[in-house]
Amino acid sequence: MVSNAKGKALVVLSGGQDSTTCLYWALDNFGRDAVSTLTFDYGQRHRIELECAQRIAADAGVPNDILPIDTFEALGGNALTEASIDVADAEDGALPNTFVPGRNLIFLTFAAAYAWPRGIRHIVTGVAQTDYSGYPDCREDTLAALEKALRLGMESDVELHTPLMHLSKKQTVELAVELGALDAMALTHTCYEGLRPPCGRCPACKLRARGFAEAGVEDPLLAVA
């Protein structure tokens, strides 16, 4: 039974802080019975992300499917899928070396392809164009163009939801608190080094720590460790 008239929602769940916050946003907006989650197994450096996603979905009481994508590894050349490349901060104005061209376009297109035969209209993703990634495929104008391409290309009324688009990391932490997602943050994974407890030194760890610090909230992941 779908619990409201808005229809079904699919959350693209990476196992990280942002997508987990989005899951709780979706629970709040669409109701638990209407929400499912999709995780991509795309050759990410750390398989722990997949386990985190499964655990987060189970903890929230919603289904999780994992869809393989072997293409990014075959494309190669970036620090997100190649363990031999060190993650580095971006030079001024340059794209970071974790940039995988089109990664979010691919994720969202496959999410829409997964949603299509299942009658799921709403797709929720944790991308944001504010103070984090520097990835151009996380920006609002990119997502708007993609939504149009998906609607036309699948003859559907699919909607892409990006609740974090204009939030700072601080505001994302505050939203997680507001949505009752703080406990679930202990289950998430952020560290580029794949460490648990997190390394605290990689760009992803530093960004996460700053967000929690600015919000004045203790990161429950650190309490676990």
Which residues of this protein are in contact with a copy of itself, per CB under 8 A? 67-71, 74-75, 77, 95, 100-106, 109-110, 112-114, 116-117, 136-137, 139, 141-142, 145-146, 148-150, 152-155
- Which CB, 106 or 217, lies closer to a copy of itself? 106
Q: What would the 3-class secondary structure string for 63-103 be?
A: CEEEEECCHHHHHCCCCCCCCCCCCCCCCCCCCCCCCCCCH
Greatest distance between any 2 Cα atoms in the chain: 50
- Which CB, 91 or 155, lies closer to a copy of itself? 155
| CA pair distance 165, 175, nearest whole angstrom | 12
- Which CB, 116 or 186, lies closer to a copy of itself? 116
- Which CB, 17 or 142, lies closer to a copy of itself? 142
Environment class of 19 (CB within 10 Å of its CB; exposed 0-12, middle 13-18, buried 19+):
buried
Closest CB 148 distance from a copy of itself, rounded Å: 4
Closest CB 168 distance from a copy of itself, rounded Å: 22
Q: Which two tokens stand for residue 54?
A: 């499964």
- Which CB, 149 or 195, lies closer to a copy of itself? 149
Taking the alpha carbons at both ends of the chain, their separation in whole angstroms is 39
CA atoms within 13 A on the CB side of 180: 6
Closest CB 24 distance from a copy of itself, rounded Å: 27
Burial string for 118-148 (b: 16+ CB within 10 Å, else e) reads: eebbbbbbbbbbeebbebebbbeebbeebbe
- Which CB, 70 or 86, lies closer to a copy of itself? 70
Q: Which two tokens stand for residue 219?
A: 């990161």
Closest CB 146 distance from a copy of itself, rounded Å: 4
Closest CB 187 distance from a copy of itself, rounded Å: 25
Contact 63, 37 (CB under 8 A): yes
Closest CB 40 distance from a copy of itself, rounded Å: 9
| CA pair distance 206, 209, nearest whole angstrom | 5
- Which CB, 21 or 104, lies closer to a copy of itself? 104
Closest CB 38 distance from a copy of itself, rounded Å: 11
